[in-house]
Amino acid sequence: MSATEKVSTFRPTPEARTGGGTYLPGELRGIIRINQNKCVGCDTCKQFCVAHAIRGSIGVAHSIDTDRCINCGQCLVNCPFGAIEQMSFVDEVEEKLRDPEWTVVAIIAPAVRVALAEEFGSPSGTLTVGRMHNAFKKIGFKIYENNFAADQTIMEEAYEFIAKVRYWVLGERGPELEKFAHHPLPHFTSCCPAWIRYAELYYAKVLPHISGAKSPQQMAGASAKTWAALDVWNVDPRKVYTVGIMPCTGKIFEASRPEFKSAWQWLKENGYLPEDTPPFPDVDAVLTTRDAATLLKRFGVNPLKLSEKEENIEITEIYSGGATIFGTSGGVTEAALRTAYYVLSGKEPPAWDFFAVRGYTTGIREAVIPIPLKALGGKEFHLKICVVNGAINHLDKVLKQVVAGNCPYHFIEVMNCPGGCINGGGQPVNPMGTSWIDPLLPLPLKA
């Protein structure tokens, strides 16, 4: 059996953006669907749906309630019969790449580098960075590493959390801190779009706790169409087409959210666009890891046959190791913690590796990190951290504590998919599924 299985895709229709139900106009609806002709009603998919969005009795073809669906794709990667399909933008991206008028930008997430090679026959987990970059450049992409934007996220997320500690723990007040009176601890991360939609639909009371920082994908899209377009590539921002290359089907939905038009707004306000320029999104399209492999194959490019050495590296391809670990559960927490520790204590942490927040064998990862607070003369603040490693069976308990006001944590990371983005709904589909790594879930049965 091959390392990966084929996932069927379908093109979006105009009706997919009309809104209605739990969707705003413009937001993509029905990103994940069940093929009624392939589904045997085995019920496996229901075991992996935190939103309880799948309908149907055993033995009867199932369907997805799109109003409840959070677009995470965990049902898709764990379906034993390949009956679940995903919306794809491969055709649209290919068209833009073949049009010389457009500057097409690939925003590549860190988890893609350990999965893309699998689609070309390499063993699962094979790392390819230089070859991957070279492959995307070969077919016409500019590279805006999602890791580069993740470094921005680290700073935004960490300083937001620091401000909350100053307000809620240290009791500081001032004009720059007053808004945090409405954004209490515990602080939730905001990088995972499936988690954000889940909170919006089912736990609206926790929304004031969630970070206001955009995900790296959305930061990258806005920056690529403003700073990079004007100051790095010297191109017309109106002819920049940004493509998220993501391990996640939820990112397809995230990019369609109507509030993410920051580049258009900034360019218009600063005189770079005519007043009558219609709004355009920060991220135009999202391809899953599987989609990206399909696109490369259409152009006849196999990254495994290219050099690992990168040529003509631009500033938009440079990033830190803190950004790279965003792709795994606990990575966002560890990266933000490094900055928070340094700023709050005024000195470097005893070690830059916070192993206590890592780990993929438990649904909830807890840690207490003592931080000597500079503002209190070195008095220790015991930072209590929770990492939710996969939402099934774990997340609701934590959220109910927050709603009830008895949550013991200060910082909570939520990654909907077990292990984080590396096991996202857009990754190569292994014959064993991907969510089997969660010991609290039953093993999916495979045909």
According to the model, what pLDDT value does residue 439 have? 42
pLDDT band for position 206 (50/70/90)?
very high
Quickly list H helices, 122-269. 130-138, 146-168, 193-202, 216-223, 250-256, 262-269
* 63 token code pair: 């369907």
Residues of the chain with CATH 3.40.50.1780: 90-148+215-320
| 2 phi and psi angles, rounded to 5 deg | -70, 165
Least confident of 215-229, 255-269, 293-307, 335-349: 335-349
According to the model, what pLDDT value does residue 443 have? 40
According to the model, what pLDDT value does residue 264 have? 97
* 140 token code pair: 């016409």
**What is the SS3 string spanning 258-298?**
CCCCHHHHHHHHCCCCCCCCCCCCCCCEEEEHHHHHHHHHH
According to the model, what pLDDT value does residue 441 have? 46
Q: Which amino acid is at 234?
A: N
pLDDT band for position 3 (50/70/90)?
very low
154-201 pLDDT, tens digit per residue, is 888 889 999 999 999 999 999 999 999 999 999 999 999 999 999 999
CA angle 132, 136, 140 (to 5 degrees): 165
Which residues make Cβ contacts (< 8 Å) with residue 53, sequence separation at least 6? Answer: 64, 65, 66, 68, 69, 70
Residue 156's Cβ-count burial label (10 Å; 0-12, 13-18, 19+) is middle
According to the model, what pLDDT value does residue 444 have? 39
pLDDT greater than 90 at residue 123: no
Least confident of 80-89, 122-131, 290-299: 122-131
pLDDT greater than 60 at residue 438: no
Which residue, 294, 234, 229, is CA-closest to 267?
229
- Average pLDDT, stretch 118-140? 92
Q: Which amino acid is at 249?
A: T
Taking the mean position of all CA atoms in its chain, how far away is CA 73?
12
Determine the Cα–Cα distance for residues 280 and 238; give it in Å rounded to an integer.
Answer: 9
- Average pLDDT, stretch 305-324? 86
- Return contacts of 8-13, CB within 8 angstroms, 24+ apart: 8/35, 8/82, 8/85, 8/86, 9/85, 9/86, 9/87, 9/88, 9/90, 9/291, 10/85, 10/86, 10/87, 10/88, 11/87, 11/88, 11/89, 11/91, 12/87, 12/89
According to the model, what pLDDT value does residue 384 have? 94
Strand-pair category, 141-143 with 285-288: unpaired
Which residue, 64, 56, 60, is CA-closest to 40?
60
pLDDT band for position 431 (50/70/90)?
low
Determine the Cα–Cα distance for residues 262 and 219; give it in Å rounded to an integer.
Answer: 9
What DSSP line would sit under 190-206, residue for residue?
---HHHHHHHHHH-GGG
pLDDT band for position 389 (50/70/90)?
confident
Q: Around 111, how many Cα atoms within 13 Å sit in the side-chain half-sphere? A: 26
Taking the mean position of all CA atoms in its chain, how far away is CA 252?
10
- CB count within 10 Å of CB 60 equals 13
According to the model, what pLDDT value does residue 324 have? 72
- Average pLDDT, stretch 83-106? 97
According to the model, what pLDDT value does residue 5 have? 53
Which CATH fold topology does 90-148+215-320 show? Rossmann fold (3.40.50)
Determine the Cα–Cα distance for residues 336 and 121; give it in Å rounded to an integer.
Answer: 35
278-309 pLDDT, tens digit per residue, is 999 999 999 999 999 999 999 999 999 999 99
Question: In the predicted model, what is the mean pLDDT of the chain?
Answer: 90
According to the model, what pLDDT value does residue 433 have? 52
Determine the Cα–Cα distance for residues 325 and 110; give it in Å rounded to an integer.
Answer: 8
Q: Around 6, how many Cα atoms within 13 Å sit in the side-chain half-sphere? A: 3
Determine the Cα–Cα distance for residues 108 and 432; give it in Å rounded to an integer.
Answer: 26
| 7 phi and psi angles, rounded to 5 deg | -110, 125
Residues of the chain with CATH 3.40.950.10: 153-213+323-423
Which CATH fold topology does 153-213+323-423 show? Fe-only Hydrogenase (Larger Subunit); Chain L, domain 3 (3.40.950)
Q: Around 8, how many Cα atoms within 13 Å sit in the side-chain half-sphere? A: 14
Judge whether 134 and 140 are in contact, CB under 8 Å.
Answer: no
* 308 token code pair: 């690992």
CA–CA distances in Å: residue 304 to residues 70, 129, 185, 285, 324: 34, 10, 46, 25, 21
pLDDT band for position 267 (50/70/90)?
very high
Which residue, 233, 262, 215, is CA-closest to 144?
233
pLDDT greater than 70 at residue 10: yes
According to the model, what pLDDT value does residue 353 have? 79
Residue 63's Cβ-count burial label (10 Å; 0-12, 13-18, 19+) is middle
DSSP state of 210: B
pLDDT band for position 446 (50/70/90)?
very low
pLDDT band for position 126 (50/70/90)?
confident
- Average pLDDT, stretch 405-409? 94
According to the model, what pLDDT value does residue 326 have? 73
Active-site annotation, residues: 157, 160, 191, 211, 251, 254, 259, 421
Taking the mean position of all CA atoms in its chain, how far away is CA 212?
15
pLDDT greater than 80 at residue 220: yes
Q: Around 13, how many Cα atoms within 13 Å sit in the side-chain half-sphere? A: 6
CA angle 190, 194, 199 (to 5 degrees): 70
According to the model, what pLDDT value does residue 327 have? 73
340-382 pLDDT, tens digit per residue, is 889 989 988 888 878 778 766 678 888 999 999 998 888 899 9
